[in-house]
Amino acid sequence: MSARSTLRLGTRGSDLARTQSGTVAAALERLGAPCELTIIKTAGDQNTTGSFASIGPQGVFVREIEQALVERRIDFAVHSFKDLPTKSPAELTIAAVPARVDPADLLLVRREALASDTGDWLPLKQGARVGTASARRGAWLKHFRPDLAIEPLRGNVPTRVLRLEEGRFDAILLAAAGVERLQAEQRLGSALSNIAVLRLDPLRFVPAPAQGALAVQCRRDDARVLEALAKLDHAQSRAAVTAERDALARAEGGCDVAFGAYCVSAGGKHELVAMLERGGAVYTARVTGTDAATLGAAAWAKLSAAVQS
């Protein structure tokens, strides 16, 4: 690729989005493909107070970016893969899934809100106020700890941490990947110094499908960009998130659906755990196999049978 061929990278403007996109841009720069960031404000960015379900249908953090791709105003985009709807415009494709980082959720707790029983994997005092805008996180907390008070919390990661520090909540839930990426760029400073940070086992507190993964998206007909982005693809990460998103597509889930899926691989075998809330009840399915591509359908079949029984 010519040194003059600077690629236009579309991204949201939050600290986390720019950090993620900057990581991808730096990797491409090292491969000889210079990039410039184009900040695009999405519907999800414009509404920072309501729950995700109240903003609109699935894709509230990506629709405007995908439209910019279709209209050729940018060359490619970097998304948090969990934000992407299971169906995107036909003109677009996921050209690369870089190596995934930690898919788990983190429970951030004010130390005075910790329960005395430190052996509990959710060591919160009775009736603790927990902030989250995620239907999935709220449903899992209610399932495991019905005594907790789940309250809405929106905003970027630093803003949510600040709300916790101010005492508006006893605890909040965040994706480990976002915290990890911002800490690596020193964008959280010492904000977590007086807060207990607990990693929740993703095989138990099941994360959003593709949580911790990035999706690098471009137009199907742009051979130049496809060639450059292909060098960033991590096959094992792509296989795992493909299985998780296949299960999501069968659940027809968006931001307003409590659904989680996580695929882990070891020794040539894959395990997919999926979790679904329906009518106040939470159902879990675990399936294993040597072909990750078949696991989404198998997990959804188990979940459907459990719901109907």
- Which of 8-12, 257-261, 284-288 is the least confident region? 257-261
- Which of 89-103, 150-164, 271-285 is the least confident region? 150-164
pLDDT exceeds cutoff 80 at 269:
yes
Question: Which of 38-42, 82-86, 112-116, 139-143 reaches the highest mean pLDDT?
Answer: 139-143
Q: What is the pLDDT of residues 208-265, one digit of tens each?
A: 999 999 999 999 999 999 999 999 999 999 999 999 999 999 987 555 679 999 999 8
Q: What is the pLDDT of residues 30-50, one digit of tens each?
A: 999 999 999 998 877 665 555
Q: Which of 198, 211, 231, 188 is nearest to 19 (CA)?
A: 188
pLDDT exceeds cutoff 50 at 182:
yes
Contacts of 272 (CB under 8 A, 6+ apart): 243, 244, 247, 261, 262, 263, 286, 287, 288, 292, 295, 296, 298, 299
List Cα–Cα distances, 289 to 95, 293, 294, 296, in angstroms: 26, 9, 8, 11
pTM of the full predicted structure?
Answer: 0.89
pLDDT exceeds cutoff 70 at 8:
yes
Higher pLDDT, 277 or 3: 277
Catalytic one among 15, 83, 102, 170? 83
What is the pLDDT averaged over residues 48-60?
Answer: 54
Give the mean pLDDT of the chain: 90
What is the pLDDT averaged over residues 182-191?
Answer: 67
Q: Would residue 246 show up in a list of annotated catalytic residues for this protein?
A: no
What is the pLDDT averaged over residues 54-68?
Answer: 76
- The answer to whether the CB of 137 falls within 8 A of the CB of 55 is no
Q: Is 87 exposed, middle or buried (0-12, 13-18, 19+ CB in 10 A)?
A: exposed
Question: Which of 110-119, 180-189, 206-215, 245-254 reaches the highest mean pLDDT?
Answer: 206-215
The confidence score (pLDDT) of residue 188 equals 65
The confidence score (pLDDT) of residue 64 equals 95
The confidence score (pLDDT) of residue 60 equals 79
pLDDT exceeds cutoff 60 at 52:
no
pLDDT exceeds cutoff 70 at 200:
yes
The confidence score (pLDDT) of residue 45 equals 67
pLDDT exceeds cutoff 90 at 148:
yes
The confidence score (pLDDT) of residue 285 equals 97
